[in-house]
Structure 1
Amino acid sequence: MKNRNIIFHVTKQYMKLNRRRTAITFIGIVFMVILMTCVFAGKRTVLAYLDKVAALDKGNWFVAAYDLKPEETEKIRDMEETTLMGCSEQLGVLEFPQTGNVEEKPYLDVKAYSPESFEMVNIELTEGRFPENKNEIILSDSVIKDGSGIKIGDTISGDFFTRTITVTEEGHTIGFPFFGIELEFNETADVPANFPAVGENNPFREDHIPNGLAAEYTVVGIMKRPVFEDVSGACYPALTAMENNLPLSDTLNVLLRFDPEKVDYERQYVEKIEEIAGRDIETESNDLLLTFSLMSDDETMGDLIMFVTVFFTVFIMAASVILIYNVFNMSFAERTRYLGMLASVGATGKQKRQSIYYECFSLLIPAVPVGILAGTGVIKGGMELLKPWICDIIDLVKPGSAKKLPVTIDAGAGEIALIVIMCVITVMISALIPAIKISKTGPVECIKSGTEKTKNKRFKTKKSLLEKGRPELLLAVNSTGRLKHLTKGIIRSVTVFAVLTVTTLYGAQCVIRIADIKTQDSGWLPDTSGYDYLVITENDTFDQVMDLVESSDATDNITPEELSPVVGLGVFRDKISDEYFEAYKYTLSQFPDYNEEDWIKQEENGLYDIIGVEAIVVSDDDFKAIAAAGDSDMSIASSPEIPSVLLYNKMQFTTDHTFIIGSSANYKFTEVKALYNASKGETIDLVDDFSPDKTAVQVKVAGLIDEKSIKGRIILTADEPYIIINRSTQKQIAENMDSARMDYNIKSILFNYEEKNDPDLIKKLGDLSEKTYISVIKCVGGEVYGNLKRAIAGIVKTLAYCFTALVSVVCLLNLYNSVRGRAAERTRETAMLRSVGMTEKQLAKMHDLENVFLIGKGLLIAAAVSAVLILFLQYALMNLFGNASFTVPYLLCAGIAVFIYAAAAVFTRICTRNTGNAELIEKIRRERI
């Protein structure tokens, strides 16, 4: 014990004498703890915050199950996976004589809620209190906004009923596809509470069927309009209390939250509920909350977050290991001298190892609390940076809701323990090699310092450099080539710095690319960028609509577009590439119920002999402009006599838009880069896939195009094959095929609108749309998806830049320590060069050349390592997501290389600056600084 105390005492004195090196090591370890805190506690904080924000939409429930028996709900409550359950009961519809909107909202839709349900559905009161018994009720504030004079303390009473509709006129078939209702004469169906009010002069009537329940309620509160209120329905929502979870009827509905540690995904939990019920039951998922809680049936998001967590953790450990290892390795000579003296008086190899571990842990112990506290501050600051982007995403679903939530750090004992464990492992790995190395060095070698490993080696001196008058280059070559134990630290530092920054920023770019693809809307529209409204109309009404828009004082930037769809066309299989079929089969294979034998049978039955294509018809001028922007034969594209087509040569398959009935799959994206097996100038057949005889028209391929060719004219996400034809070709096709379908023309008008100058314009267009085919669309699609993409890109970039900045601090400390350590080891050498007349300018030139050699070597190694990691990232992300194309940011890599060289040059100047001739002799005498 006494010997150990001596070892520790000497180590402590050594640390005090080398305060700068000790401080750099301590700061490096603190930043390691900060980064670990950001990864583990930060991940939990972000996910917990997203969980709270997502709960603002529908509530903090995962699954809703309907029409369960009371005894079944008790069994579900007792499941070990269930953490919270709220019960509700649909009591029925009640007449509402106090309504302020008699024609459209004459009823109340009354539900009974347990106390848990009020909490789980985020019911907020504007006045009053929650109901406490079955005779009290709260109403939506829509009642007040619509003009009702009802107030707290008033009573509502009546008999509950079910609404039905019955067709009353012969020869009428009434369909309400949104509600799944289709009725013929004299048929009756129940309608839900959100069914609109039935007025007079309809071919059907509404009846009220009593359900046997009655109530008299006292109004005790007014709630904000709940998320489940349908503004188009005939009922206002009203809520009463369920006493002791005892229903008045035979069925209950439940809201459920389960333990993520015991349930892998939502469907697994639903299947257990159905086992209890012994039948298929109707369920609803809180998709936004499940997605942010990583409990969605699509596991892609959870896998991606896990991958990023592991990836960042490994990077942090790598940077920290190199920093701490370099510190101990650069100070090896000094350390061996004082430990050698102790070894000469009996210190064992084990005790020398303990010296290294003592120094590590004496720095780690205070660094852990400092790093965790600083890390929580970084997380808090990072969350404030991320909050605007998160709010932008949630505002697309529930505007303004996310801004209400304060940011709180969410890190439990598990996260703190994991941080400590990972830091201890990192420090142990860092110190392992120096500790083993120093324990095996004998006393004599220790006293001699054991560093002059070059004395038995022979080196060739390039005297030609001296003869050519380039002594600085000669010295730079010799110093970097011979004293490799002094240069390895710098090369390692440069390599780690470049690898971490390049790979992190490349990974961020990949995630942004994935988010961009995932948020794309399928299909096509005119490019609405820069416009407020899009009006789609037929040829017959185009002039009328155009006159209305042009005559308004509120419109400007009016742009007519001639874009029409033609459906039902196809091309023969031999004109579609094998890449298309491979991508299609790959996408289908992601579904558990996919059977390759079914594909073979479908091929044998001719299902894939003709592949459907969707045609977009453009004006002749636009056709020529699009062709000119692609790989086209303009002599074909410009001729109105030649029926021609432009082939959009790319498409994508996703599991979102490809499906097998009754089966689901994790999200996968597959890009087809060469869709068509045809070239410009070739003749192909366009087939009427709807006709029994498969009528075909021959057209010339004017060219092959991509997204760059249609930019500014069409926004297209091609989840099926697309072609573009002009009006001339459309007319020639219509002459040989179903002319009503093939010659169907629509036109679009894009314009900007200042509502205050003509507030009735949109209403006039809407009134016109009731009489003819006109669709008035507010151009929010591009804005919404643009905001979503910008928000996701902002989150990813913020995280990537923050992580890169923190890692860069560790890497810069590492580089500075390596440069300083080498400069310290060469103090005597530098002093001797000055003593024989070497000028500061020559020394600076020699150091610059050394940096070129060392940093160049480090960057070459970094390029090789980064290439391997980038390939690994591509493989991992493609395995998780699909075969999207990712580009390497070469310009960014060049910028990082320049920054590293500049940092090394600055550090070299700082560490090798001359302190005056008075210390020259002292420096020559010194063996170590």
Structure 2
Amino acid sequence: MNIINKLTLRHLKKNKRRTLVTIIGVIISVAMVMAVATLGVSFLDLFKRQSIADSGEWHVQYKNVTSNQIKTIEEDGNTEKLILSSDMGYALLEGDEISDKPYLFFKGYNEEGLEQFPIKLTSGRLPEAANEVVVSDHIAKDTGINYEIGAEMAVDIGNRMLEGEPDALLQNDTVQRDEEGFLEDLDIHSTETFTVVGTIERPSWEEPWAPGYTVINYIDQENLNKAVNVDAVVVVKDLTRSIFKQAEQLAQQNDIVGVGFNEELLRYYGISDNDNLHTTMYSLAGIIIAVIVIGSVSLIYNAFAISVSERARHLGMLSSVGATKKQKRNSVFFEGAVIGLISIPIGVLAGLGGIAITFMFINTYIAGALATSVKLEVVVTPLSVLVACLISSTTIFISTYLPARKASKVSAIDAIRQTQDIKLTGKAVKTSKLVRKIFGLEAEIGLKNVKRNKKRYYATLFSLVISIILFLTVSFFTANLSTSVEMSQEGIDFDILVSDSSGDISGLESLVQLEGVTEHSLHKSVQLTSLIDEEMFPPLLVERIKKENWALQEGKHPYYINLYGLSESSFQEYAERVGTDPANYQDPNNPKAIIINTISYHDYEASKFVETESIQTKPGDKLELLFTDYDTNENTTLSDLEIGALTDELLMGIRTATLGGLDVIVPMETFDSILNDGAANQVQSYLYLNSSDPMEMQETLEEVVPSSMYIYNAVQSRERDQQMIMFLSVFTYGFIALISLISIANIFNTISTGISLRKREFAMLKSVGMTPKGFNKMINYESIFYGVNSLLIGLPISIGVMYLLHRSVNVTFEYGFSLPWLDILFVITAIFVIVSSAMLYSTSKIRKENIIDGLKQENI
């Protein structure tokens, strides 16, 4: 080691505080870069494993292959595993011909396929011969039809065809039917007898609305059924972008009619012609790393720039005894290398440890937030470590380059006289006369010092502004997420909804007797129309009609009518809450209804919630209900409905209509009697439940409710949304905390070292009569100047960024833009606390210093 490097190490040891702050800043920077790189790789690994769990591990699919083509594919040099797959077809599920899932769907795999695809055995074993099958255990849960192990099933298997159209093949489409029955037929192509050898969980590829329950059998490659189309699914050896070209060439050379790819899984491997996911992830990671590098360069550059300033006389003395420009420049690079060698390994380990702890915490939320069945695992690749090290090394090099150049240009005379940093004119440090008049001479001196040391001032200001923007942006983003979740859940006063698109409530009535149901509302609904006279319009609707220049139809405006028919018990309970006698509504020949005449809705233009009347009417008035056939645009009069009561009581599960709409509630018998066939086809039935244990209730419902019905767990949805917010908050606030640490370290380092370099200035001021009180006043004013200027720059930029975020969220959720005043107040307080603390900490060490020693100060 040469003498200059030895002197550099001695300098680092002498200035332990500044060296330690620089090392800590670099460690945080490296840790963040490593964490971002590991996060990206780990999430890609999560998506990869989830894709395999959902749809199996495979890469290329060759469709409708023959025995010879299978052999060629198997012998291909890039084939690692060959899977045979076959969609044999559908067979009627005997005893369940009336539901929306009346079929068994037969799918076949060879031995490799049974291993590679997500097939979860619940009892028995997997098939090992062509006449053996495993059946989905959901058949028994949904229909009560039980296929016991060892039982034989004889089935006619065929393809679903649209009735009367022999070329209209139905794949996995929902069952085609109307009121009279099925609109599809089975085109039988084989009759088979199978032995049931086991049961499986419902496969992930079988959607709840799928027309058939999955049955899996074994494909014997040696004895393929020529009547059944077989696909060859391949796991390749070398995953590269050439996989697409290679597969297409193989198919073309062997007359294979179709080639498919597992595009989702390949995308997670980074193999895709249109890779939006990787572009998004790399862009996001790039932006985050750029912010980290900018903050880190600011800190590390300041540290080395200050180091060069401190060592100016030292470097000049070296020049005077023969040190070359290259040696002086290399001394700064050597200082950076020493700090890097210490910081980078520690930073890499700290980043991995931090991300591992983070994953342990968020894995409790990730299943609900991202709807995954696998957990995040810390995945470290040599490339991610190399990228983190290269970025960190580059950051240190960029930070040291300018100070190193400056060090190389320091001449012996200028350095020894220490005049190289003082190249100012009177104009450059000129201040307003008002400053002295209002704040005094001390404030003017403080302001002149800020102007005199502009580089140090801008570096500190930059760090403060970055901290302000990051904190307010992230806080606003998280608050917006919470607001959006609240809006999406607004008005939801139930735990679970079960709906039936057929409009039949018979399947829902038995569910209200389930154990754990604490409250329920069972109703049908349909949307109709009614022409309302102008004198019945509420004032807000009159304003809206004038503003929008809507044309009236003979003094009437078409209201949309949400007509609800309640079951007997639900209507009786609701009528009692309203305060009306339910017996008055039981005559279908003289239909009466309860009207919800107080509506609450969000006025997006005014960015506020509005509560007003829906209609100006009274009990005894009548509404003419119309059904609009949108195919023919014809209106049919259904009934004149008498208003029995007006209320602001809502039904469980429904939100009020908006301006120009009415919610009308009638008993079920009245509801059925007033509808014609066209309107009856539009009816939906709903059961809203509150339960003592919503999660257990959902499990119970899934066991007894047929797949044709839809179950929505509002409690689970709320929890999932909250988990997503928590999940994102962990990363966003963790990120801002680390960036803020870099910024605070930068501020402390810059201010404290700047104060340290001003020892001679302070001693001179004291020697000409500046009192301790005046000294404090000068320092306090400098702190205020830093704080005020950073807020004047940071707050407008933050508000602009927050507004852009608001506009992006407003595409889905419309609400007014409002500033997070509490967060802004916190930022204002925090900025002055940070700057004042740095100033007080720095000046506390020089307050008691002897004036003579200060005037004699040497920066070596």
**TM-score, normalised with respect to structure 1:** 0.65
CA distance in structure 1 between the partners assigned to 2:268 and 2:365 by the alignment: 15
Aligned to 2:118: 122
Aligned to 1:856: 788
Shift in Å, 1:532:
4.0
Distance 1:874 1:306, change over 3 A: farther
Task: Report SS of the residue matched to 1:331.
Answer: helix
Distance 1:251 1:495, change over 3 A: same
CA distance in structure 2 between the partners assigned to 1:183 and 1:562 by the alignment: 18
Shift in Å, 1:34:
0.8
- Could you tell me which amino acid in structure 2 is paired with residue 117 of structure 1? G
1:51-200 alignment to 2 at 5 Å?
Answer: 51-61=48-58, 67-72=64-69, 86-89=83-86, 113-124=109-120, 162=157, 178-179=174-175, 189-190=185-186
Task: Report SS of the residue matched to 1:178.
Answer: coil
Aligned to 1:426: 395
Task: Report SS of the residue matched to 1:626.
Answer: strand
1:890-909 alignment to 2 at 5 Å?
Answer: 890-891=820-821, 892-909=823-840
Distance 1:490 1:637, change over 3 A: same
In the alignment, is residue 382 of structure 1 matched against residue 320 of structure 2?
A: no
In the alignment, is residue 338 of structure 1 matched against residue 318 of structure 2?
A: no
Distance 1:871 1:465, change over 3 A: closer
Aligned to 2:641: none
- Give the number of aligned pairs: 764
Shift in Å, 1:334:
1.8
Distance 1:848 1:348, change over 3 A: same
Given the alignment, which residue of 295, 301, 305 partners 1:329?
A: 305
CA distance in structure 2 between the partners assigned to 1:806 and 1:926 by the alignment: 36
| Comparing 324-333 and 526-535, the one that deviates more | 526-535
Aligned to 1:566: 528
In the alignment, is residue 237 of structure 1 matched against residue 215 of structure 2?
A: yes
Aligned to 1:253: 231
Aligned to 2:753: 821
Task: Report SS of the residue matched to 2:54.
Answer: coil
Shift in Å, 1:568:
12
Task: Report SS of the residue matched to 1:86.
Answer: strand
Shift in Å, 1:44:
0.5
CA distance in structure 2 between the partners assigned to 1:161 and 1:106 by the alignment: 14
Given the alignment, which residue of 580, 586, 599 partners 1:625?
A: 599
1:5-50 CA-partner distances (Å, limit 9, x unpaired): 3332222222122122112111111111111111112211122123
Aligned to 1:12: 9
| Comparing 314-323 and 135-144, the one that deviates more | 135-144
CA distance in structure 1 between the partners assigned to 2:596 and 2:60 by the alignment: 50
1:806-845 alignment to 2 at 5 Å?
Answer: 806-831=738-763, 842-845=774-777
- Could you tell me which amino acid in structure 1 is paired with residue 468 of structure 2? A
Task: Report SS of the residue matched to 1:56.
Answer: helix
CA distance in structure 2 between the partners assigned to 1:865 and 1:688 by the alignment: 53
1:683-713 CA-partner distances (Å, limit 9, x unpaired): xxx99754467999xxxxxxxxxxxxx9998
- Could you tell me which amino acid in structure 1 is paired with residue 840 of structure 2? R
Long gaps (5+) in structure 2: 164-169, 532-543, 549-557, 565-592, 638-649
Distance 1:421 1:844, change over 3 A: same
Aligned to 1:704: none
- Could you tell me which amino acid in structure 2 is paired with residue 566 of structure 1? L
Shift in Å, 1:108:
9.4
Distance 1:415 1:464, change over 3 A: closer
In the alignment, is residue 478 of structure 1 matched against residue 448 of structure 2?
A: yes
Aligned to 1:752: 690
In the alignment, is residue 794 of structure 1 matched against residue 726 of structure 2?
A: yes
Distance 1:45 1:509, change over 3 A: farther
Shift in Å, 1:184:
11
1:244-290 CA-partner distances (Å, limit 9, x unpaired): 897777632344568886289x9x99999987897976979797x68
Distance 1:374 1:490, change over 3 A: same
| Comparing 815-824 and 832-841, the one that deviates more | 832-841
- Could you tell me which amino acid in structure 1 is paired with residue 345 of structure 2? P
1:59-116 CA-partner distances (Å, limit 9, x unpaired): 34467665443455567778999886532346789999xx999x99999987653444
Aligned to 1:655: none
Task: Report SS of the residue matched to 2:174.
Answer: helix
Task: Report SS of the residue matched to 2:85.
Answer: strand
Given the alignment, which residue of 344, 347, 352 partners 2:323?
A: 347
- Could you tell me which amino acid in structure 2 is paired with residue 113 of structure 1? Y
1:587-602 alignment to 2 at 5 Å?
Answer: none
In the alignment, is residue 49 of structure 1 matched against residue 46 of structure 2?
A: yes
1:744-770 CA-partner distances (Å, limit 9, x unpaired): 9989775534599xx9xx99xx99x9x
Shift in Å, 1:776:
8.6
Given the alignment, which residue of 368, 376, 384 partners 1:415?
A: 384
- Could you tell me which amino acid in structure 2 is paired with residue 817 of structure 1? N
Given the alignment, which residue of 491, 501, 511 partners 2:461?
A: 491
- The answer to whether the 8 A contact 2:526-2:563 is kept is yes
- Could you tell me which amino acid in structure 2 is paired with residue 565 of structure 1? Q
- Could you tell me which amino acid in structure 2 is paired with residue 484 of structure 1? K
CA distance in structure 2 between the partners assigned to 1:510 and 1:326 by the alignment: 36
CA distance in structure 2 between the partners assigned to 1:504 and 1:131 by the alignment: 54
Task: Report SS of the residue matched to 1:638.
Answer: coil
- The answer to whether the 8 A contact 2:563-2:664 is kept is no
CA distance in structure 2 between the partners assigned to 1:738 and 1:69 by the alignment: 57
Shift in Å, 1:301:
4.9
- The answer to whether the 8 A contact 1:12-1:359 is kept is yes
CA distance in structure 2 between the partners assigned to 1:37 and 1:68 by the alignment: 47
In the alignment, is residue 725 of structure 1 matched against residue 661 of structure 2?
A: yes
- The answer to whether the 8 A contact 2:505-2:524 is kept is no
Shift in Å, 1:907:
2.1
- The answer to whether the 8 A contact 1:91-1:112 is kept is yes
CA RMSD of aligned residues (A): 6.3
1:201-212 alignment to 2 at 5 Å?
Answer: 209-210=190-191
Identity %: 21
CA distance in structure 2 between the partners assigned to 1:39 and 1:830 by the alignment: 44
- The answer to whether the 8 A contact 1:131-1:241 is kept is no
Aligned to 1:40: 37
- The answer to whether the 8 A contact 2:599-2:612 is kept is no
Distance 1:825 1:74, change over 3 A: farther
1:647-697 CA-partner distances (Å, limit 9, x unpaired): xxxxxxxxxxxxxxxxxxxxxxxxxxxxxxxxxxxxxxx99754467999x
CA distance in structure 2 between the partners assigned to 1:392 and 1:348 by the alignment: 64
- The answer to whether the 8 A contact 1:828-1:927 is kept is no
Aligned to 2:576: none
Shift in Å, 1:315:
0.2
CA distance in structure 2 between the partners assigned to 1:635 and 1:90 by the alignment: 58
In the alignment, is residue 262 of structure 1 matched against residue 241 of structure 2?
A: yes
CA distance in structure 1 between the partners assigned to 2:200 and 2:765 by the alignment: 85
**TM-score, normalised with respect to structure 2:** 0.69
Shift in Å, 1:851:
1.0
Shift in Å, 1:821:
1.0
Distance 1:375 1:512, change over 3 A: farther
Aligned to 2:332: 356
Shift in Å, 1:925:
3.0
Given the alignment, which residue of 397, 409, 419 partners 1:450?
A: 419
Aligned to 1:609: none
Given the alignment, which residue of 775, 779, 788 partners 1:847?
A: 779
1:397-440 CA-partner distances (Å, limit 9, x unpaired): 7xxx43xx5x5322322222222222222222222222222323
